Amino acid sequence: MAATIRDVAQVTGVHISTVSRSFSAPHLVNEATRGRVLAAAARLGYRPNRAARALTTGRTYNIGLIVANIANPYFPPLIKAAQAHARERDYHVFVADTDEDPAVEEELVHALAKQVDGVVLASPRVGNRLIEQLARSVTLVLVNRRVEGLPAVLMDMRGGTRQVIEHLARLGHTRLAFAGGPPGAWTNREMRRAAAASARAMGLTLEVLGPHHPTENGGAAAAEEVVRTGATGVTCYNDLMALGLAERLGELGVRVPEDVSVVGVDDISPSRHTRPKLTTLAMPTAAAGRLAVDMLLQLAGDPDASNATATLDVALVVRDSTGPARRS
């Protein structure tokens, strides 16, 4: 005979309502008590009836997570962290990929709205006005997009980009380029503005290139533009672009870093194994996934919860793709 909620309550010595809240509203239960309840439930083989809970609470206990491109190595750590964090709270995560298409992104939000308690939009490509409209039909938490009045998890792209420009300046680079990504990406705008401001403050020249597709092909397409500018230091929208740029520069007879230093963003796994190893900005993607889930579940349980914005620090990781500026 299957274990019941009463069995778990009897074993742990708590009220049935406490067992129920341990699964449906864990933030309302003392951590030690919830730990005892979950341990007893696991021993007894008890699993709450999700359909019954949904009827009682009005929740689905599902979360939507929409990413710009699941093939980009930036997103899997965020997805895995979000799924694991949600599972600890007895939520399921539906993951969807927009393939960088704003129209698909809008369609997916509408499709998920009635099946989930809320949606995490990671690196959205739709405009802010449309995001505001979508937020009227489903609870939204944003990752890497700032929209007034909506909760968001942001990376400190301005501070990180300043670190990159300062690093290149210390190496003697005075003529720089920024190889931009998608025009609708908040990260792209933040980096472009920060790169321009930092270069100006340090008396450096900066050429803004793009937009480009945020892939290795997009980086390769920027290579000839970089050569034409005469830049000796290049910051790319992401690591995929930086890897594609470095490879194409080599095909054009331009050495990295002897002739041109290249910096990426994200610190994806391939950046550590390519030759030369890529200097990049490391992003706390797993932490962002966990925090976004926390924000979403807080809003799902309390519609009046704070629509706070959290900004996570990023870190410059110096490897082999940057070096002293070449002499004229």
For residues 109 and 137, membership in a common domain is answered with yes
In this prediction, residues 13-41 reach a mean pLDDT of 84
The answer as to whether 222 is a domain residue is: yes
Residue 304: pLDDT over 70: no
Given CA atoms 29, 32, 33, 35 in this order, what sign does their dihedral have? positive
pLDDT greater than 70 at residue 50: no
Assess whether 262 and 305 both reside in one domain.
no
Residues 6+ apart with CB under 8 A from 147: 128, 131, 132, 135
- Average pLDDT on 71-85 reads 97
Those residues with Cβ within 8 angstroms of residue 84's Cβ, 6 or more apart along the chain or in another chain = none
Same domain flag for 81 and 222: no
For the ranges 29-43, 102-116, 199-213, 269-283, the lowest mean pLDDT is seen at 29-43
Q: What does residue 254 show for φ and ψ, rounded to 5 degrees? A: -100, 120
The predicted pLDDT at position 276 comes to 97
- Tokens (6 digits) for 179: 């190889």
Q: Which residues have a Cβ under 8 Å from the Cβ of 208 and sit 6 or more positions away?
A: 177, 178, 180, 192, 195, 196
Helix (H, G, I), strand (E, B) or coil at 181: coil
| Predicted local distance difference test score (pLDDT) of residue 26 | 75
Look at 5 and 273; give whichever has higher pLDDT.
Answer: 273
Q: Which of 95-99, 239-243, 296-300, 313-317 has the lowest mean pLDDT?
A: 296-300
pLDDT tens track for 216-251:
999 999 999 999 999 999 999 999 999 999 999 999
- Report the pLDDT averaged over residues 92-118: 95
Do 117 and 185 belong together in one domain?
Answer: no
Residues 167 and 276 in one domain: yes
Q: Looking at the 3D structure of the chain, how many domains does it have?
A: 2
Stretch among 32-46, 115-129, 210-224 having the lowest mean pLDDT: 32-46
Q: Are residues 131 and 187 in the same domain?
A: no
pLDDT of residue 290: 97
CATH number of the domain encompassing residue 266: 3.40.50.2300
- Give the predicted TM-score (pTM) of the model: 0.82
Measuring CA to CA, how many Å separate 240 from each of 87, 216, 225? 30, 5, 17
Residues 173 and 277 in one domain: yes
Look at 269-273, 281-285, 304-308, 311-315 and tell me which has the smallest mean pLDDT: 304-308
Q: Is the pLDDT of residue 190 over 70?
A: yes
Shared domain for 183 and 249, answered yes or no, is yes
pLDDT of residue 54: 55
Q: What is the pLDDT of residue 38?
A: 86
pLDDT for res 104: 97
One domain for residues 205 and 288: no
Measured distance CA(313)–CA(316) in Å, rounded: 10
Residue 247 lies in a domain: yes
Average pLDDT over residues 28-57: 76
The sign of the CA dihedral 315, 182, 222, 241 is positive
Say yes or no: 294 and 278 in one domain.
no
Average pLDDT, the chain: 92
What proportions of the chain, in percent to the nearest 5, are helix, strand and coil? 45, 15, 35
Q: Is residue 48 part of a domain?
A: no
Domain that holds residue 259: 157-283
Residues 278 and 305 in one domain: no
Whether 167 and 263 map to the same domain: the answer is: yes
Residue 52 lies in a domain: no
Residue 222, CA distances (Å) to 28, 160, 232, 234 in order: 52, 22, 14, 10
Residue 93: both structure tokens together: 């995560």
Sheet strand arrangement including 62-67:
92-97, 62-67, 119-122, 140-143, 152-155, 309-312
In a domain, 73, yes or no: yes
Cβ neighbours around 239 below 10 Å, total:
29
Q: Which of 37-46, 62-71, 73-82, 296-305 has the lowest mean pLDDT?
A: 296-305
Residues 6+ apart with CB under 8 A from 58: none
In the predicted model, is pLDDT for residue 55 greater than 50? no
Q: Please report the pLDDT score of residue 306 as a whole number.
A: 64
Tokens representing 29 are 């239960």
- Taking the C-alpha atoms of residue 161 and residue 156, their distance in angstroms, rounded to an integer, is 9
Once rounded to an integer, what is the mean pLDDT over residues 135-142? Answer: 95
Q: Is residue 96 part of a domain?
A: yes
Query: Does residue 302 register a pLDDT over 80?
Result: no
Q: How many residues does the chain have?
A: 328
Looking at residue 116, its pLDDT comes to 95
Residue where a domain stops, chosen among 243, 266, 283: 283
pLDDT tier for residue 58 given thresholds of 50, 70 and 90: low
Q: Does some domain include residue 16?
A: no
325 inside domain? no
Q: What percent of the chain is modeled with pLDDT above 70?
A: 95
